[in-house]
Structure 1
Amino acid sequence: MSAGAVSSPFYDDGLIQLDREALTLRRYHFPSGTSKIIPLRDIRGFYVSPLGLFMSRFRLWGTDLRCWLPLDVNRPRKSTLVTLDVRGAFPRPACTPEHPNAFVDLLDELLAGR
């Protein structure tokens, strides 16, 4: 990629952006609400699970012993949790995409193409 060129997003639901270079989780850091940018080269893998009714679904921002969730006020209406295995990250970053099938398919494709 040339200097100054921007990689166009493949997936962007307002809180999560995924392109050829990185995964951006908006409203990630507490309390500043700044984004976390994770280069794709640092993502070793991911796993998908349903959001539990009382575990992660009503956790709007924060952590448990395994993962950190960015602020998402619509999380109670979502059904899918994607947890990332990122080199050197603890707790593991996680997100709840608006369109989980499209997000997971693209993430899988981009990680396989590295």
Structure 2
Amino acid sequence: MAVLYEDKHVVCDEDALTIKRYYFPLGKKRIPYADIRRVDEKRMGLLTGELRIWGMGLTPIWFHLDMARPGKDRCIVIDRGGFVKIALTPDDHETVLALLRERTGRSQAA
């Protein structure tokens, strides 16, 4: 299977997104593009994920392990239809956002 994008946080291949360091202690989560209902881009602030290294705070958004997240200001939020959403902070935000939108045909509602 051809890898379209890979960094230390995520892998986008032809069929799915794999999030590295999702589960404790370092387990991966693979999500087929067909399971993704919505892809949003969000700004992060002090209370909305910027300082969250791993896990979930007061909002139902799960963040994978990323020690560099405090230096980032945006995340990509994946909605699979459940209560908890998934936030990604890849090294190349724009490339991963474009790939997810292209592969899923989904984006933030206008």
Q: Report the TM-score when normalising by structure 1.
A: 0.83
Aligned to 1:3: none
- Of structures 1 and 2, the one scoring higher in RCO (CA 8 A, sep 6+) is 2
1:97 to 90, 93, 106: 90
How far the C-alpha of 1:56 sits from its partner, in A, is 0.6
How far the C-alpha of 1:80 sits from its partner, in A, is 1.3
Contact 2:9/2:89, CA 8 A, preserved across alignment: no
Q: Which of the pair has more CA radius of gyration?
A: 1
* Displacement over 4 Å in runs of 4+: none
Which runs of 5 or more residues in structure 1 are unaligned? Answer: 1-6
Aligned to 2:44: 51
Q: Which amino acid aligns with 1:48?
A: E
Deviations 1:47-83, CA, capped at 9 Å, x for gaps:
1011113431110001033210011001111121111
How far the C-alpha of 1:85 sits from its partner, in A, is 0.8
Q: Which amino acid aligns with 1:93?
A: I
C-alpha distance in 2, partners of 1:74/1:43? Answer: 25
Contact 1:78/1:98, CA 8 A, preserved across alignment: no
| Structure holding more strand per residue | 2
C-alpha distance in 1, partners of 2:83/2:55? Answer: 13
C-alpha distance in 1, partners of 2:79/2:60? Answer: 11
Q: Report the TM-score when normalising by structure 2.
A: 0.86
Identity %: 31
